[in-house]
Amino acid sequence: MVYSPAPASPDYLTAITNWDGQWYLRIADEGYAVTAVTSYEQYAKTFALNQPPLFPMTVRALMWATGLGFGAAATVVNLLVGSVTVLLLYRLIAPHAGRFVAASAVALLCTFVSAPVLQLAYKDGLALMLIVLAMLLISRRSYWLAVMAILALSLTRQVTPPLAIVLAAHAWMRFRNRQDSPLGRRDVTSMAAVFVTSIVGMFTWSTIVRLWLGGSDADKSRGSVAYIRRNGFGWFGQAYDRFGLAGVALIVGFFVVLIGLAYSAGTRDWGPETRAWLWAYPAFLSVGTTLHPGQFRYFLADFPLVLIFIGSLPVHASAKTRFVIVTLACLAGLGLQWLWIDHSFIVHSEGSNIWVP
């Protein structure tokens, strides 16, 4: 999709609007269309409805209020939400695992291979902020505020169902500790609201689109049951088509290892919410998406993943050793970021083998 063509050597604020940024630029400029598909342009208008509104409309509001262009406004939004995200992430992990692990989580997130997407004209930064916010609110038992955060996430990126697993892990821990912290009827009701909102949130935007468009062909938005069915069971169907049962067994083995790591001794101090997110989010991706280079961007939201080797360090490891390992990991991540930008995000020539970011 090219909504606003760029020169062969664009400046920074133009370059960051590449790929999906073109959809958000179009939405910020023209809003959403509600007409049937009759031509390619109509298709482009209706396909824009696959992109939930919270990020592009936030950028649009900032453009209106300040007079900034799309690239500059998107940069301001993502810098703000990114700053809030790292603060929330630190506060989510520090009470359970301590200041070093929490600070390591922030550093490793910022140097993850696809972390540059947090400064592009993409929705990923806002979505990540809302994910971490919802988990923090659940961990602090502010359930009704968590419902609001999840509803906002459902209008940003349709990745709310794993939060139902997070809530279940949190509820189980509260049930086990009910003698120290009794569970009241209000707690049960509010936790149930979080659980239901997490499941229903995946279909919020696609339902709005279908009600808006009626029977139009354009109502097949991402997040609908039909869309998931068309993916052919995600990673599992793709692996079976290419490698048979061996491919399926490999993916199952990956999740067995991931769940084992999530509940190993090395991660016992992370808190139930973070441990559950470690495997629940990839499990959701395995059903709703297919394997392609864009998974590097998707896995940015699985922030506990980068903490596995930190959490697995021997207890007797010195502070200096831990600091050196985190530093080396961050430097390696920065090098991988360069490769991601150069080989995935930037298109060098029309005939190049493009890896979709």
Sequential pLDDT tens for the chain (357 residues) = 788 888 888 899 999 999 899 999 999 998 886 665 666 666 666 777 888 999 999 999 999 999 999 999 999 999 999 999 999 999 999 999 889 999 999 999 999 999 999 999 999 999 999 999 999 999 999 999 999 999 999 999 999 999 999 999 999 999 998 888 888 899 999 999 999 999 999 989 888 887 876 555 454 545 555 565 666 678 988 888 888 999 999 999 999 999 999 998 888 889 999 999 999 999 999 988 888 888 999 999 999 998 887 766 665 667 788 888 899 999 999 999 999 998 888 877 766 566 778
pLDDT at 350: 67
Q: Which of 71, 61, 105 is nearest to 86 (CA)?
A: 105
Q: Which of 218, 138, 204, 219 is nearest to 171 (CA)?
A: 138
Q: For residue 291, what are its two tokens?
A: 């394997």
- d(CA 85, CA 64) in angstroms, rounded, equals 25
Where b means 16+ CB within 10 Å and e means fewer, 310-337 reads: bbeeeeeeeeeebeeebeebbeebeebb
pLDDT at 231: 67
Distance of CA 101 to the CA centre of its chain: 21
Distances from the Cα of 267 to the Cα of 162, 171, 175, 263, 309, angstroms: 19, 19, 21, 6, 10
Q: Which of 130, 154, 169 is nearest to 202 (CA)?
A: 154
Sign, Cα dihedral of 183, 185, 187, 188:
positive
- d(CA 207, CA 189) in angstroms, rounded, equals 25
Sign, Cα dihedral of 290, 291, 294, 296:
positive
Q: CB-based burial of residue 350 (10 Å sphere; 0-12 exposed, 13-18 middle, 19+ buried)?
A: exposed
Q: Which of 255, 54, 283, 303 is nearest to 164 (CA)?
A: 283
- d(CA 277, CA 273) in angstroms, rounded, equals 6
CB atoms within 10 A of CB 45: 20
pLDDT at 283: 94
pLDDT at 354: 67
- d(CA 260, CA 98) in angstroms, rounded, equals 22
28 in Cβ contact with 51 (< 8 Å) = no
- What DSSP state is assigned to residue 183? P
Q: For residue 133, what are its two tokens?
A: 């916010």
How many Cα neighbours within 13 Å face the side chain of 150? Answer: 32
Where b means 16+ CB within 10 Å and e means fewer, 135-158 reads: bbbbbeebbebbbebbbbbbbbbb
